[in-house]
Amino acid sequence: MKTMTPDEINQLPTILHILDMIAGEEESLRNNLRYNFLSNLGAENKFEIKAETPNGPCVLQPTSSCFNSYFRGQAEYHEDCLPTLYRDQKKDNIDRFVDRLRSSEFELLLQTHPFVKLIYNEGIVFKNFGKDVLVSLKVDYLGLAQHYELATDMLDFTNDKWVAAFFATCSNKNGRYIPMDSKGDGVVYRYSLPPEHFLPGKDNLIQGKKFSAIGLQPFKRPGEQKGFALKMEEGENLNNVRGIQKYLFRHDKLAAEIIYNRMNQGGNLFPYDELEELAKKIKTSKKISNNAFEFAYKKYTVEQMNEEKLREACIAKGIKFVNYPVARFPRDFKRNFLTDWKKNGEKEFFSKIVHRQYF
């Protein structure tokens, strides 16, 4: 796509026109008696228990007003839309492995969180039509790493049009989002899973799961952003992915301010939690634990590199390997978390979850 002229940009709709189009589709879904069970009517801003595989753990997926539609907003259109791991063309395979080391360090940190340990050791009991059901839940470690701004091979999506609109019309300046001026154009992507994902025996047709719900997690940010993630391969461009539609729009400051204020100036999407500072520490540290290296080495391969050579190559990039975690939760964190969980956290967590019977 060639760069548009100012006149061509002025002919584009505003973000509000795109939101209005999507809202019309949602309203049609609600009003059609044959399909309204697919909408989130009566379950707005909630999460549903969904099994990703027949025998695996479940996810808490955000309810949606629009069937099979997931959105991504960008304040600028790029010919090559790539995940952060592959975005910097100056990085070589070792640089990217270092990024994976950091996401591995982050995963090992999350595994020490008391709520994560609770899920994996005991599962969580949900009341299903009056009957207690023990359910194990998936913690999407890589999806969480992406949400906390570590470099990964994933792209963020959401099933909430307003969340996508916020990221499409607000820019991050020194860690704070502000509305865009009336200059230039942005894009909203819509991703729809291909038909084979809805067929019986789909696991035999689909090799490798690329799209997943992050949903409600022990940490607030992904839930507030109604988070999903699309895994990308090296060299893969979102603009060419099957199931992607693009909606270009012209920036309009008033429209951006409306969205900015509706989302509480970004406060709704970025609630503070304990992970924020720890993720920043991992992202900027030149230190990596030996445990993270061993974890990443088993998970990710680098061509023509055995363990010793890969370790030396990372050291040559300025990485120092240490025998302790780069980041850890505070010493009293577990006690404080469990106290708060029993007092308020458990009730708040379960209040966000619904179970709907589909006929």
pLDDT score recorded for residue 359:
41
Mean pLDDT value across residues 311-322: 97
Mean pLDDT value across residues 187-216: 75
User: Is the CA virtual torsion 79, 85, 88, 91 positive or negative?
Assistant: negative
Distance CA 96, CA 182 (A): 36
Strands (E) in the chain, as ranges, are 47-51, 58-62, 70-74, 124-128, 131-135, 154-158, 170-173, 176-179, 185-191, 211-213, 227-231, 244-250, 287-289, 320-322, 353-354
| Residues of the chain above pLDDT 90, percent | 54
pLDDT band per the 50, 70, 90 thresholds, residue 206: very low
pLDDT score recorded for residue 28:
84
Domain regions of the chain by residue span:
6-284
Q: Quote the tokens at residue 131.
A: 């009957």
pLDDT score recorded for residue 205:
44
DSSP output for 40-62:
-TT-TT-EEEEESSSSS-EEEEE
User: In this predicted model, what pLDDT tens digit does every residue of 112-154 receive, in sequence order?
Assistant: 998 888 777 778 887 765 678 888 888 889 989 998 999 999 9
Q: Quote the tokens at residue 238.
A: 């979102």
Residue 303 CA, chain-centre distance (Å), reads: 29
* Residue 48 and residue 140 in contact, taking contact as beta carbons nearer than 8 Å: no
Residue 32 CA, chain-centre distance (Å), reads: 31
Q: Give me the count of residues in the chain.
A: 359
Q: Mean pLDDT lowest for which of 51-55, 254-258, 347-351?
A: 51-55
> What is each CA distance from 231 to 164, 236, 287, 290, in whole angstroms?
18, 10, 27, 26
Q: Identify which of 270, 279, 47 has the alpha carbon closest to the alpha carbon of residue 142.
A: 279
Sequence-ordered list of residues with C-beta below 8 angstroms from that of 212, at least 6 positions apart, any chain: 52, 59, 140, 143, 228, 229, 231
- The model's pTM: 0.90
Q: Quote the tokens at residue 133.
A: 């059901």
Mean pLDDT value across residues 144-170: 95
pLDDT score recorded for residue 38:
62
* Residue 70 and residue 191 in contact, taking contact as beta carbons nearer than 8 Å: yes
Reported as half-sphere exposure (CB side, CA atoms, 13 A), residue 163 has a value of 23
Q: Please report where in the chains the tokens 């992507």 appear, as a residue.
A: 189
User: In this predicted model, what pLDDT tens digit does every residue of 329-352 receive, in sequence order?
Assistant: 998 988 888 898 889 888 888 888
Distance CA 324, CA 252 (A): 49
Sequence-ordered list of residues with C-beta below 8 angstroms from that of 332, at least 6 positions apart, any chain: none
118 — phi, psi (to 5°)?
Answer: -65, -45
DSSP output for 195-232:
GGGGSTTHHHH--S--EEE--S-SSHHHHHTTEEEEE-
